[in-house]
Structure 1
């Protein structure tokens, strides 16, 4: 019983720390300068010859259903053709996607590269193959279904001219074109709104390591190559790269430009995607903690605690949630002495703060983020967000199990389930 009581006390302390850190991020994200702003006029002011060469990496695997959409989205990018190369990265054995690509007329700046068989079949492995052949001064990644702001490359180029040389990455914001499809997509959209409106700017303001998004992170190619590209075995290579940027003493900023993606609308498909993200977060934390003192020296104690609370704490605490939900239900129903013994006064009261004030604070943060983004359609999703936490916990448990049994297995997310596309990306999403 003593060991169980100690574990409950440690978990309660971790919950308190995670909630406090997220609220600190929201506070700093609200009060900070926020994202780097580049107006349409500024983005268009640079003459074509002043713009840097740009490489866009587009990895696609078994996604024939979005190739037509991909071609249309690439065609809307406003960047001089002679300065832009788009590398469409296809796996050598992906016959269905290769057949779909062969049936469409690709823009002149798009080049198909076949990733050779052998090694792991992951998105970062494909991107590393593309990076080897990338000729751009700047590099970004778009997923096959992405609908980026047409001026995003120009905005990023202007931002890099304006920012210090140690800023090697600008992360554009992500949102969803099908957020109104069902309640799952609304929850997903609210999560992204909270992340890009407050949490990510808060991490930047706190000078903490930034877990990058898997798409629309724009990087100085020389710095990316100097960092060794992406970890091909990590299934959230973006989070890993964000930490390696911080460890190298380099910086990431947020760019006020939006890429629209397809929100996962199917429960099973969502769990597959989220469990992969959580597994990758755990991989990242474990790999970089092989030498924890060295990590603390490079990112600082504050950065290390933030990295741990976000990257390890998010999946681990989500996986623990069902245990504490079960204990709470059993206590309220029957008040067994065994459960009471796990929560002596010095644990019980902090646990109640987590249960009542912590949950309220997280719901309130969602409401604040929805209001700040003027997304009134997400207010109901914010009020029902605890149901989304149940989905997160299922995905987290799956991630922990898969981390042990299949650590480098890339669980494929199915796209094209929404049946809709963004109404228009012709007007730049600049928020």
Structure 2
């Protein structure tokens, strides 16, 4: 069930095959039409293609502005005060399963134990499962060395099988879960101590219509280098503005990879996570919406480790982008059915937010190159390709897009009271170059190794000295 559960339950929603037969036919037909148009009337065809792409850019910018505006009212987060969270007697709290998938991470196991011990939840009601791959002997040994015989943390060995992915491990752990509620933490996570209590109280208050609550994710090492500063700003925009904005506009939420709190039984009926999708969280968020489940954003924070190494960052981001593309393709197999289940708002979110994010990152270098070429040599072909309306719209997108990104990053730096992030916010368009590199890699891997899970190395912050600060 950990591998083929979703495939058997909802075969049309599984990424075990990335492109359906109908999608392959449609893609081949579209490519043939484009090639024929480029041969028959190349300039006119390129004008139309560029015009369509710039319209997509404009729509994506407007969409994000709308999300930030909608989130600004702060009324679409779920709030549970400290007093309310602690008011529930221990014996009335539900059993809570915490799944912690880890792979080749022996160096952070001791920190994981400390952070789990900091959870303000009765130990008798905690069902913590540390999910380790059978071949990962080093991490297994480190975990067993850290755990006392009477520990409430159970080491679960995930049998070796393909695909070897985080969602497969989580599915395996879910089969053994005792809790009525379940959440996921990564091995390096530092969840806020009251998070489980807040989630339990919130889900009880909201009722069975709500299947999942997504906590806010942030980083504990924002000052490590420029990459971690940009990453911190990006995450703050994502979880403080964009996701609450999606909730406010009644759109599906692409979940984060950790600190999402589920009703266990509802999760099982959904088919749990797709082991073939490398961004299983975003896919599950779309599936929740399609099958009529509501998702909220919970006001509580889990701190993670921001990726500080360029190569490591590209590995992680390319995996995310690849998974977003997979999710988009899976849920666009039957556009009419998706429209029926999600409505126009959900379909807009799927195309602009999920599919559009990696696709625009792929296309950015093409337009950057044309802009530089025009500024340096002013070739006539560029002027031919950009007819006046398209040129002015493209110019507006370039100016407004950069201003919007910079403004949002400055805004979240102010909201977080982190003036040291201001310079990083002002030069944040340079971060897009990294995103484009990752998007290009994601596209290539989608073709060659769609379900390959490229491992992200954690614990890079451990080599820093205290003077580096957090």
Q: Structure 1-normalised TM-score? A: 0.96
SS at match of 2:277: coil
2:168 equivalent to 1:94: no
Q: Deviations over 1:48-97 (max 9, x none)?
A: 01101100000001111111111111111111111111011011111111
Match of 1:75 among 107, 117, 127: 117
Task: Give the CA deviation at 1:404.
Answer: 0.3
- Aligned residues of 1:235 and 1:410 also touching (Cα < 8 A): yes
1:118 pairs, out of 161, 166, 174, with: 161
Q: State the match for 1:66 in structure 2.
A: 108
1:235·1:277 contact (CA, 8 Å) conserved in 2?
yes
Shift of 1:100: 1.0
1:46 equivalent to 2:88? Answer: yes
Q: What are the within-5 Å matches in structure 2 for residues 21-420 of structure 1? A: 21-106=63-148, 108-419=151-462
Cα deviation 1:196-254 (Å, max 9, x = unaligned): 11111000001111000000000011110110100000000000000011001111111
1:428 aligned residue: none
Contact 2:288/2:294 (8 A) holds in 1:
yes
Whole-angstrom distance in 2 between the partners of 1:246 and 1:234: 17
SS in 2 for 1:103: helix
Given that residues 142 and 215 in structure 1 are in contact (C-alpha distance below 8 angstroms), is that contact kept between their aligned partners in structure 2?
A: yes
**Alignment deviations for residues 152-202 of structure 1 (CA, whole Å, 9 cap, x no partner):** 000100111111321111101011110011110000000011111111100
Q: CA deviation at 1:375?
A: 2.8
Q: Is the 8 A contact 2:147 2:153 kept in 1?
A: no
Following superposition, the deviation at residue 420 of structure 1 comes to 7.0
Q: Does the 8 A contact of 1:275 with 1:395 survive in 2?
A: yes
2:460 match: secondary structure: coil
- Conserved 8 A contact 1:87-1:111: yes
Structure 1 segments of 4+ aligned residues over 4 angstroms from their partners: none
Name the stretch that deviates more: 365-374 or 322-331.
365-374
CA distance in 2, matches of 1:164, 1:318: 39
CA distance in 1, matches of 2:290, 2:236: 27
The C-alpha deviation readout for 1:291-350, integer Å capped at 9, x for no partner, is 111001100012101121011100000010000000000011111011111100121010
The aligned residue for residue 6 of structure 1 is 48
Secondary structure of the equivalent of 2:239? helix
SS in 1 for 2:78: coil
Over the aligned positions, Cα root-mean-square deviation in angstroms equals: 1.4
**1:8-32 superposed Cα distances (whole Å, 9 cap, x missing partner):** 1111001000000000000001124
Deviations 1:104-132 (A, max 9, x none): 12572111111111221000000000011
Q: CA deviation at 1:379?
A: 1.5
Change (3 A) 1:34 1:159: same
Q: Kindly tell me the number of residue pairs found equivalent between the two proteins.
A: 423
Moved more, 230-239 or 244-253: 244-253
Task: Please state whether the residue corresponding to 2:77 is helix, strand or coil.
Answer: coil
Return the offset for 1:135: 1.0
Tell whether 2:80 aligns with 1:15: no
Q: What secondary structure, in the 3-state scheme, does the structure 2 residue paired with 1:418 have?
A: helix
Q: CA deviation at 1:369?
A: 2.1
